[in-house]
Structure 1
């Protein structure tokens, strides 16, 4: 994809998981990448900045430093986020505030800081990270689902607000991705092997989504190859939200 060459990309939450896979994919295709995260990125190919995206002052400073390092910004990938388990009865309201602050308000904070640089680009794009939980009700994910549903709505609102400025805004909705976070959840299960088998068995494709699969979708939406795409949510979930397989025929 020659249109990726020298694309100047900032990825939040890019030090691990989906964010790290996305940074690696951009680098492979010739883009220039800066990463914002709570920890330094281990990838020597990126410009790394430690930043809490819920701190507006720190975020503006980190975005300005990233723009200086890259000589501008063409694309923002709002990937940083935190997970949460439970129903509306579980935990306290501080958990809800934290999840919404990181997953939604932090995304707005990053984007507003980057807008002056995006407006100066002739191939500006924003890609937000939503989730399958924005599209399909899953148990024990109330606060997380609320935040990712808000990301989906925010994506469409941002797309409408900035289409006249030549800034495209889209989101990706991954299914269950084989990241370190999911690995930790499985490790804490009573029977990790059985829990993994059950989780994979619930996926129409019979496996978890690979971080690299999500990364490729993000790269497409951030690149000029998707120049006529804005206000769209691209599901990368192995078919979980879109198809329903027939139940196995009972043995006779």
Structure 2
């Protein structure tokens, strides 16, 4: 697509008559506008540069290995050019991202005092509400559990009575006894349903549009390091190994670099291009 075609698609192209009658100044302005439309961006330029360097690296680094000082110098120069291009590309990236980063940071700064997890006013206020509600809801929960246990005991007693009536009725041809057994059985079933509902009921503060209940949350308490280590060595050996290696890497970065500096590890020195 040439410059004129791009200008036409953008609705900026002059007519033939305008071109024939335009002044030198107008022609210069038109040509500059066309050039600006065609001008590559900083991203276009650095992308092309890095892609060219990558293709050069593919052609040069063919698996044969470096044999001469001249080859080493060439590869070193190519590496430096790639590093330089990467540094400039990262600079362009930061420049392009800066307005977005600044905007995001400004939005975060405005909202964090309100809704930041564990620190914003909403979380702090909700935590205070929960702390105030917890003792009351625990008391209600204990009362409900006691009532549910009583209801379950009554349901079990009715179930036993129903079984006794059913046994007596089965050995008798007395219709009234069968009716009594059925009645007790019905009471036992209703009592069992009532006990089930009470056992499943959650403590709540009534009178609100949405009831306030209790829920279970779980957290680990570290009590036996040896048992925990044995457990995760068996159930998650790969994750445990990677975690231990990362701790060793951190120790090496902190300066523990002698071969036996880290128990359970051998610190190995590798020589690599700087």
Is TM more than 0.5 here? no
Q: Please identify the structure whose Cα radius of gyration is greater.
A: 2
Q: Which has the higher strand share?
A: 1
TM range (shorter): under 0.3
The alignment's TM-score, normalised by the length of structure 1, stands at 0.18
Greater relative contact order (CA < 8 Å, ≥ 6 in sequence) = 1
The alignment's TM-score, normalised by the length of structure 2, stands at 0.17
